[in-house]
């Protein structure tokens, strides 16, 4: 019945797209960096890959249109996502080699070394050259940029998979699938609390091409971080803020940006109970701090990982980064007028200014946040922090999208699904960015258009209506 409601032809089209992505990627990534467990040798693998992504995006957009007019349970949407997701679970690691970096960091910890001191290059002296060769050369001399909980889980995967890299990738996908399952459970709950349609929120945040292609096929640990973050925010809205803070702190041990959830939940809790603000701040700090210390101790690393996770992204310079797009565009214009100014210097200055502005905005939001605006403010902040940061990879978008997708007004932004679908075409199958810095002015123009659309969508009121969430704030 659910399949008929969502449209059998769209279910079939999305499944065909996923199968095409799986088959084509196995051919495209043959021996780069490892030979996959099946080798189809299909002609025209590149066109087949992008045809598959296009089919999946088209099916997803069509299902979204049906959800606007037909009531469907969120569970039916999750079931549809499971059908589309199944082939991608067995595909090679697509759109980056990050999964091999996960295994490399896990292997270093498994061998008793500190991955926040020793980069993957150390594997050459540990009899793990086959794994080192799979890691992107760009990251072989970079210490682990991930939190200790995830590196510890990766070490367990390495212990179970041994030298079999294909098995290691498949086991890592189980971890990422766990993050998506958390999203599937808590996004509908968060949407109900905020008065939004759970099915449409699930469609936007759980079964989108961004999740299926970038997080499942790509295997990025952002899925696990986002799942824990959304769970924490949802529990906070359900008047269990201390448990929500613990989950957000745990998410920060996957990726550090989730720590913003700890601060925002604590601020919303203190605003709801101002007479206990001091004790709330103390309990929040003790809970988050204790969890960070326990995880760090359990994995055998200190707190140096915090600095390491902040430093690694700054190595990247891609046209997708707004500061890079602006810097390169400004440098090109100045060059045309006979002024020779290094684009790198302009990029650094703009990047620093954007980060400072984002930090100031975060303080302002935190001073105003309430339970009913928690998901909205935190989600917007995470999205803006991605854009103001040094490397806005498309899969980073799930940080904020998973939260704002549950807010009523977001579901009316018709430009947002198109942006999500378009983002899946930004990275090639081998992980290289499709757009070079020479097209930075075009990327800058696209960001301007998106910004105008976003501001136009929110022009009536800054805070969208949260009818049911207001009940939790009383």
| pLDDT by 10s per residue, the chain, length 474 | 455 667 788 899 999 999 999 998 888 777 677 878 777 777 888 889 999 999 999 999 999 888 887 888 888 999 999 999 999 999 888 888 889 999 999 999 999 898 988 889 999 888 888 888 888 888 888 888 899 999 999 999 999 988 899 999 999 999 999 999 999 999 999 999 999 999 999 999 999 999 999 899 988 999 999 999 999 999 999 999 999 999 999 999 999 999 999 999 999 999 999 999 899 999 999 999 999 999 988 888 877 777 666 555 555 555 556 666 666 666 666 666 666 666 666 667 777 787 888 889 999 999 999 999 999 999 999 998 887 777 778 888 899 999 999 988 887 788 889 888 988 887 777 666 655 656 666 666 766 776 676 666 655 444 444 444 444 444
- ∠ CA 92-93-97, nearest 5°, is 140
List the structure tokens of 318: 């891609």
- Domain ranges, ordered by start, for the chain: 1-92
Spatial contact of 141 and 124, defined as CB atoms under 8 Å apart = no
How much is the pTM? 0.87
How many residues can be counted in the chain?
474
Residue 28 preceded by cis peptide, ω within 30: no
Q: Phi and psi at residue 433, in whole multiples of 5°?
A: -70, 130
Distance CA 209, CA 203 (A): 10
Which residues share a beta bridge with 427? 433
* CA atoms lying within 13 Å on the CB side of residue 58: 13
């Amino acid at each position: 019945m659910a399949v008929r409601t969502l449209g059998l032809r769209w279910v079939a089209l999305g499944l065909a797209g996923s199968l095409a992505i799986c088959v084509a990627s196995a051919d495209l990534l043959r021996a780069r960096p490892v030979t996959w467990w099946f080798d189809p040798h299909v002609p025209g693998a590149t066109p087949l890959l992008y045809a598959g992504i296009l089919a999946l995006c088209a099916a997803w957009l069509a299902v979204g249109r049906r959800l606007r007019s037909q009531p469907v349970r969120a569970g039916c949407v999750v079931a549809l996502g499971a059908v589309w997701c199944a082939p991608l679970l067995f595909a090679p690691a697509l759109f980056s080699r990050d999964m091999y970096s996960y295994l490399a960091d896990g292997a270093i910890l498994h061998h008793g070394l500190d991955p926040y001191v020793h980069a993957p290059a150390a594997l050459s002296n540990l009899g793990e050259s086959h794994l080192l060769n799979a890691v992107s050369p760009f990251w072989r001399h970079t210490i682990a940029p991930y939190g200790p909980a995830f590196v510890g889980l990766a070490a367990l995967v390495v212990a179970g998979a041994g030298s079999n890299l294909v098995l290691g990738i498949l086991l890592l996908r189980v971890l990422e699938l766990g993050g998506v399952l958390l999203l599937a459970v808590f996004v509908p709950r968060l949407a109900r609390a905020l008065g939004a349609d759970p099915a449409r929120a699930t469609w936007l945040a759980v079964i989108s091409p961004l999740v299926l292609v970038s997080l499942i096929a790509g295997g990025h640990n952002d899925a696990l971080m986002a799942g824990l973050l959304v769970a924490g925010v949802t529990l906070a809205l359900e008047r269990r803020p201390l448990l929500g803070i613990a989950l957000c702190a745990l998410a920060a041990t996957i990726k550090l940006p989730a720590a913003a959830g700890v601060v925002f939940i604590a601020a919303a809790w203190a605003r709801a109970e101002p007479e206990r603000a001091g004790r709330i701040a103390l309990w929040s700090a003790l809970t988050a701090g204790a969890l960070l210390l326990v995880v760090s101790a359990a994995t055998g690393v200190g707190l140096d990982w915090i600095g390491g996770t902040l430093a690694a992204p700054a190595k990247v310079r891609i046209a997708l980064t707004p500061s890079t797009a602006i810097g390169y565009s400004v440098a090109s214009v100045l060059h045309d007028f006979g002024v020779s100014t290094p684009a790198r210097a302009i990029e650094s200055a703009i990047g620093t200014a954007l980060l400072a502005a984002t930090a100031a905005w975060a303080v302002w939001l935190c001073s105003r946040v309430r339970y009913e605006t928690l998901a909205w403010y935190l989600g917007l902040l995470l999205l803006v922090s991605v854009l103001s940061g040094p490397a806005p990879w498309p899969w980073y978008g799930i940080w904020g999208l998973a939260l704002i997708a549950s807010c009523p007004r977001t579901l009316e932004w018709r430009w947002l699904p198109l942006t999500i679908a378009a983002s899946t075409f930004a990275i090639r199958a081998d992980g290289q960015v499709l757009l070079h810095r020479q097209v930075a002015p075009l990327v800058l123009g696209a960001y301007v258009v998106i910004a105008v659309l976003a501001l136009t969508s929110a022009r009536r009121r800054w805070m969208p209506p949260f009818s049911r969430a207001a009940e939790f704030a009383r």
